[in-house]
Every structure is written in structure tokens, then in C-alpha cells.
């Protein structure tokens, strides 16, 4: 499908939100017309997950004018050479695809110079595409980009731009684009082979190439093969609508890929059942949100995930999935200003211009309805048995317990993890940083989660089970290697309770960890050392005779806890990094050796 360009022009002329998007697109276009340098064939591109700091996990600053010096946006640490130079080239290729989309859209709006800029970018890549050597070390092979995933996303961005402004390009350029599309099919089709977000992006790129070439065989293969789009939707998304990798970042990443696929493939690209499942993937996730609109950063998710960040997917779905109702207003239930975001397939560089209030995406401009009425945030408790997530809600507490199937390579192996938002205080999943950064080792470790840990090691891949549930109580089980752990959480008038029971195959080191905003107090006790490199300011706490340790996190919204310390166990308080809220992260850790353990904690909110 292609946008209704006459409708888009009318919107820009009559709707303030649309005019604001067009103005920022024009400003960004002018900036990148000055700064864009297309990396030529030669030195290969590299994984952008290398573009993060080992020390604090923060991204490096992408400076279009400096290809060989890369500075951490957090601590200022300087990186030089490879793989950071190669990651810079990847980001510049992404900037080129983004600029092509801006140029195509602005050409439709009559912007002088836009068509020439589009022709410059498209002609350069189409002419040289096969001169970029195939390479890749992390997720398949690309030519322009370092892996099949990035190659597919870049290709979609370029081909979308060509479709949007096809009559602005010369016959010679069109012929070269056809040759590039054929080469992309040859590169990517042999690499499709599993149910995974990366393979969804490859299918989308193949669909765009096939639509470009009028290829009749490739679309049928993309739809109906063993790992085609039908299988990706029906096998990859749980019936509740959540992608099997659980991470909200990868969920919406996959949704964007499959919407891009259907955008190219048209109505015949997915059967009715798959369209319904894909629509549920838009409508379901906001039900997991915290009261401020943040989504939990489960598994390998960016620590800062907000429902409003994914409004472009919902805006696009409104037009691309017209058969199904889309709860678009949910994505504006928590207003959050944002810079203009391009429709997926053209990734943006890291630098961000001024934010706009309300609707601020190209998807809203070219796909969404004329106006959107924000809906009220979803409320109430829920259980998704297949996805393995339960959420309890009271007027002041949002509490979740996860117990479902393994989520594949991005899973943090943290069955029975708990995350909480309570009256302004939070105990969140930390998510992850760039995969090439050492800091991610901490964020993926069991100690960065609210868990009962056996043997000091991550859990193996396995599936937990829901034992009972009601709107105020959840109880689930996790079992592996002869160990059985059961956890029950329940809402109370004061806050909530949390009880863990473990029966182990043999006595082992057992640790109970809970973290939250602020440092745990009272912190009196002897300084101590633990063999956990990411914890600092460790203190061994005094355990009362009755074995009930009481304290609170010293945040302005602090939560009090009374926790039973098992006989023979020690209690520690410590500080760690990586809290998504930006506040200090304080840990309470109980440690001992046992074959059977019970830990009961009662949490209470102040006031």
C-alpha cells in the first residue's frame, strides 16, 4: 500500500500536528543534506551494539563529522578504532536510509531540492550495492550493513522511499534499483530459517523487493513457507498478543517488521487469523504498563521503554490492518513529547531534535486517522497464562510475577521475577544495554533481578507454571534439576506480601535478592565483601533475634519491608547501577546454605 498523498498534503495544510511534523522533517532534511556522507564500499560496517560504553552501558555519541572518535554520553570515555569505526559506518548508512525517507516524503509535499537529494542517495547505493562485500559476525550476513537484520531494515527504508517518490527518479536509477532488489533477494532469502524477529525483518525486505520486481513466486514463499509470515505471527506471538521473546522492545520491533511486510505484500500477505493475532499484538501490551506509562523492560529490552514510544506502530497498524480495530488511543493515554520518528525501516541516528507534543511520527502523518482521542490507561489485574505474566493492581500498587516459557536467546533466565511500582517508588527490571558492552553482563545476571537464586548461577532455560490466581493474589512455580521454587505475591491494605519457598535437590547456596529506588536502610553493620563485582558499599546487616529484619529504601517514596531471614542466613545491603528510574539502586540480599528455604516479606507504603 502507498499513502494517499493528497490527504497528506491536506493534513499538513489544515492540522497543526501534521504541520509541526512536516516542519521538523524539513529541518532534519536540511541538516542531513549538509552532514550526510555515504560510506563507500571498502571497510565493512559493524554491529551497533558495540556503540555502548563498557563502564556504564551508556551509548556512545554519534557525530556525523567525526568517524574515528567515539565518546560515551555518560562518563566521557573515548573509544577509537574498530569495531567502533565500523559501527559509526553502520549508523551513517542508517542515516542515509532515514534521509531517503525524508526526501521522498518532502518531495511529495513540494519541497525544493528533496527529489535531487533522494536521487543522490538512491543512485549511489543502487550503483554500488554489489561492490559492498558480504560480511557479518552476529546475526547473519549483510553487504551494506553488518548482518542480515540491519541489511533488511536498511533495504526496506530505501525501497519504501523509492516507492513513495518513484516518478522523481531517472530510468537509469530505476534499473539500478531493480538490480539491487534482485541482489537483496539473493542475499537474504537463503538466511530465513527460524521463528525470530530477525527473520521477520528479512521476510519484510523480501516482500518489498518482490513488490518492486513484480515477482510472483517470492511473495507466496514469504507467506506460506515453514518460517514465512503466517508462521511467524501464529507461532511467534502468544494468544494474548505478546511476542515470545517477552521483551517489549523486541515485541514492537517484530510488530514493525510484520507491518512493514504487510505494507509491501498487501491484503493477501496474511490470512485472517494472522491479521487478528497481529492486531492483538498492538492492543495488548499497554495493559502491562506502570502507572506512569513505562513498560517493563523484561529480558533484553532497553531500560527506558514507554507506551508512547510505540505509537508509530499503532498509527501504521490503523491503516495497514484495516480489518481489525486498533486501540490507538491507548498509545496517547500517557502524553510524552517526542521528536519526529520516521516510519520503521529507516532507522534514525542517535542525535534527537526538539520534541513535539502529541502525535509526532511519520506513521501518524501518512497512515493514521485525522484525529486521535486518548483513552484512559488500562486498569485492573490480569493473567496471561500462555505468555506467563500476571499483574496485580490496587489503587497504589502495580505488581507483576512472571512464570512463562523460555524466551529464547534474549531471555534473562529469571522465572518468578517480580517487578513493582508502588506510590512513586519502583523496583523495576533493569533491561539491558548494548550487547557488546560489559555492563550488560550485570544487567543480565540473576542478581539484577528480584529472585531466589540457587547455586549463584542463572537458571537454565525452562518453563514455569501458574498454580493459582485471583485479582489480588498470584502463585507460580519454577522447577529444574530437582529444584522446585514456588512464589506467591498478594496485595494487602498496606502494600503487598511476597513469599518464596524452595525445595532443592541437595543443599546449596541460596540467595534472595530484592532491589528498588534508594539505598536500603538502616545500613548499619560491618563493611563486607561479596564475590559479586557489580555490588559496592556492601554492608552485613544485624539480624534480630526473632529473625525478622525491618527497614526501608531511603527514597522520597520509600517502601518499608519486614522480611524473615532463614536460620543460618546472613543479610546484606548494597548499591548497584543501572536503575531505569535514574535513582540510586539499593539491594537487600539474604544469603545462606540450605536444602529447604522459606522467605516471607511484607511490604508497606508510607502514608
Give the CATH number of domain 382-605: 2.70.98.70
For residue 519, name the pLDDT band (cuts at 50, 70, 90).
very high
pLDDT tens digit string along 187-211? 999 999 999 999 999 999 999 999 9
SS3 of 592, please? strand
Which pLDDT value is given to residue 159?
A: 97
Distance CA 502, CA 123 (A): 63
Distance CA 457, CA 447 (A): 9
Hey, what's the cell of 235?
Answer: 507461532
Is pLDDT of 241 > 90? Answer: yes
What is the average per-residue pLDDT within 340-355?
Answer: 75
List the end-to-end C-alpha distance of the chain, in Å, as a whole number. Answer: 55
Q: What is the DSSP letter of 294?
A: B
Is pLDDT of 568 > 80? Answer: yes
What is the average per-residue pLDDT within 325-341?
Answer: 94
Longest alpha-carbon distance in the chain: 85
Distance CA 558, CA 566 (A): 25
Q: Where do we find the cell 563502564?
A: 55
SS3 of 538, please? strand
Report whether 320 contacts 207 (CB < 8 A): no
Which pLDDT value is given to residue 276?
A: 98
Is pLDDT of 349 > 60? Answer: no
What is the average per-residue pLDDT within 312-328?
Answer: 97
Report whether 194 contacts 177 (CB < 8 A): no
Which pLDDT value is given to residue 348?
A: 62
How are beta strands 465-470 and 473-480 bridged, if at all?
antiparallel
SS3 of 272, please? helix
For residue 556, name the pLDDT band (cuts at 50, 70, 90).
confident
What is the average per-residue pLDDT within 286-307?
Answer: 94
Q: Where do we find the cell 519457598?
A: 501
Domain ranges of the chain: 5-366, 382-605
Output the average pLDDT for the chain: 95
What is the average per-residue pLDDT within 32-38?
Answer: 94
For residue 360, name the pLDDT band (cuts at 50, 70, 90).
very high
Which pLDDT value is given to residue 607?
A: 65
Which pLDDT value is given to residue 239?
A: 97
Distance CA 236, CA 178 (A): 32
Hey, what's the cell of 30?
Answer: 536540511
pLDDT tens digit string along 429-478? 999 988 888 899 999 999 999 999 999 999 999 999 999 999 999 999 99
Which pLDDT value is given to residue 351?
A: 63
Report whether 485 contacts 451 (CB < 8 A): no
For residue 139, name the pLDDT band (cuts at 50, 70, 90).
confident
Which pLDDT value is given to residue 477?
A: 98
Which pLDDT value is given to residue 510?
A: 98
- Please give the C-alpha separations between residue 185 and each of 136, 202, 206, 515, in angstroms, as whole numbers: 17, 9, 6, 48
Which pLDDT value is given to residue 166?
A: 81
Hey, what's the cell of 348?
Answer: 534514525
Which pLDDT value is given to residue 138?
A: 80
How many distinct helices (H) and strands (E) make up the chain?
A: 14, 19
* 5-366: CATH class: mainly alpha
Is pLDDT of 344 > 90? Answer: no
Q: What percent of the chain has pLDDT over 70?
A: 98
- pTM of the predicted structure, to 2 decimals: 0.95
Which pLDDT value is given to residue 167?
A: 85
Report whether 488 contacts 477 (CB < 8 A): no
Q: Which H or E run contains 427?
A: strand 425-427
pLDDT tens digit string along 242-289? 999 999 999 999 999 999 999 999 999 999 999 999 999 999 999 999
Identify the bridge partners of residue 475 per DSSP, sorted by sequence position.
468, 488
Q: What percent of the chain has pLDDT over 90?
A: 89
Amino acid at each position: 500500500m502507498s499513502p494517499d498523498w493528497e490527504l497528506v498534503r491536506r493534513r499538513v495544510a489544515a492540522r497543526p500536528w501534521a504541520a509541526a511534523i512536516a516542519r521538523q522533517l524539513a529541518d532534519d532534511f536540511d541538516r542531513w543534506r549538509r552532514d550526510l556522507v555515504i560510506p563507500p564500499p571498502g571497510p565493512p560496517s559493524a554491529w551497533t551494539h558495540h556503540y555502548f560504553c563498557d563502564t556504564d552501558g551508556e551509548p556512545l555519541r554519534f557525530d556525523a563529522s567525526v568517524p574515528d572518535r567515539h565518546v560515551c554520553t555518560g562518563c566521557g570515555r573515548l573509544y577509537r578504532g574498530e569495531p567502533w569505526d565500523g559501527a559509526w559506518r553502520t549508523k551513517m548508512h542508517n542515516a542515509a536510509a532515514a534521509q531517503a525517507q525524508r526526501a521522498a516524503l518532502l518531495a511529495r509535499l513540494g519541497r525544493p531540492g528533496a527529489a535531487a537529494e533522494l536521487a543522490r542517495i538512491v543512485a549511489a547505493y543502487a550503483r554500488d550495492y554489489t561492490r559492498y562485500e558480504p560480511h557479518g559476525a552476529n546475526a547473519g550476513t549483510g553487504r551494506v550493513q553488518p548482518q542480515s537484520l540491519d541489511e533488511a531494515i536498511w533495504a526496506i527504508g530505501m525501497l519504501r522511499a523509492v516507492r513513495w517518490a518513484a516518478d522523481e527518479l531517472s530510468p537509469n536509477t530505476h534499473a539500478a534499483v531493480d538490480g539491487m532488489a534482485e541482489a537483496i533477494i539473493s542475499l537474504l532469502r537463503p538466511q530465513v530459517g527460524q521463528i525470530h524477529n530477525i527473520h521477520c525483518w528479512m521476510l519484510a525486505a523480501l516482500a518489498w523487493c518482490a513488490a518492486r520486481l513484480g515477482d510472483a513466486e517470492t511473495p507466496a514463499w514469504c507467506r506460506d513457507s515453514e518460517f514465512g509470515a503466517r508462521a511467524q505471527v501464529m507461532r511467534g506471538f502468544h494468544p494474548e498478543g505478546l511476542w515470545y521473546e517477552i521483551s517489549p522492545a523486541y515485541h514492537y520491533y517484530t510488530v514493525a517488521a510484520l507491518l512493514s511486510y504487510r505494507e509491501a505484500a498487501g491484503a493477501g500477505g496474511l490470512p485472517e487469523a494472522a491479521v487478528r493475532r497481529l492486531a492483538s499484538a498492538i492492543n495488548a501490551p499497554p495493559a502491562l504498563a506502570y502507572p506512569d506509562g513505562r513498560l517493563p523492560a523484561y529480558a533484553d529490552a532497553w531500560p527506558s521503554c514507554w507506551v508512547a514510544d510505540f505509537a508509530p506502530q499503532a498509527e501504521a497498524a490503523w491503516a495497514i490492518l484495516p480489518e481489525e480495530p486498533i486501540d490507538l488511543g491507548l498509545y496517547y493515554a500517557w502524553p510524552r513529547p517526542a521528536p519526529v520518528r520516521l516510519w520503521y525501516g529507516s532507522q534514525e541516528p542517535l542525535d534527537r531534535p526538539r520534541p513535539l507534543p502529541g502525535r509526532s511520527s511519520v506513521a501518524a502523518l501518512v497512515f493514521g486517522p485525522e484525529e486521535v482521542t486518548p483513552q484512559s490507561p488500562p486498569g485492573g489485574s490480569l493473567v496471561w497464562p500462555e505468555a506467563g505474566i500476571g499483574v496485580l493492581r490496587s489503587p497504589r500498587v502495580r505488581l507483576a510475577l512472571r512464570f512463562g516459557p523460555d524466551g529464547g536467546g534474549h531471555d534473562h533466565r529469571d522465572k518468578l521475577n517480580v517487578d513493582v511500582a508502588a506510590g512513586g517508588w519502583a523496583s523495576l527490571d533493569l533491561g539491558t544495554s548494548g550487547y557488546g558492552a560489559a555492563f550488560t553482563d550485570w544487567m543480565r545476571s540473576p542478581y539484577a533481578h528480584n529472585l531466589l537464586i540457587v547455586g549463584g548461577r542463572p537458571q537454565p532455560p525452562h518453563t514455569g507454571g501458574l498454580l493459582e490466581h485471583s485479582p489480588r493474589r498470584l502463585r507460580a512455580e519454577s522447577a529444574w534439576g530437582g529444584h522446585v521454587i514456588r512464589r506467591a505475591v498478594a496485595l494487602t491494605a498496606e502494600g503487598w506480601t511476597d513469599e518464596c519457598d524452595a525445595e532443592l535437590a541437595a543443599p546449596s547456596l541460596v540467595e534472595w535478592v530484592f532491589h528498588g529506588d534508594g539505598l536500603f536502610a538502616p545500613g548499619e553493620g560491618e563493611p563486607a565483601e561479596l564475590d559479586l563485582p557489580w555490588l559496592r558499599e556492601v554492608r552485613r546487616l544485624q539480624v534480630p533475634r526473632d529473625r525478622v529484619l525491618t527497614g526501608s529504601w531511603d527514597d522520597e517514596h520509600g517502601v518499608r519491608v519486614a522480611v524473615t531471614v532463614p536460620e543460618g542466613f546472613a543479610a546484606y545491603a548494597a548499591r548497584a547501577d543501572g536503575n531505569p528510574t535514574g535513582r540510586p539502586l539499593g539491594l537487600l540480599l539474604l544469603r545462606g546454605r540450605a536444602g529447604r528455604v522459606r522467605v516471607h516479606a511484607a511490604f508497606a507504603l508510607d502514608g
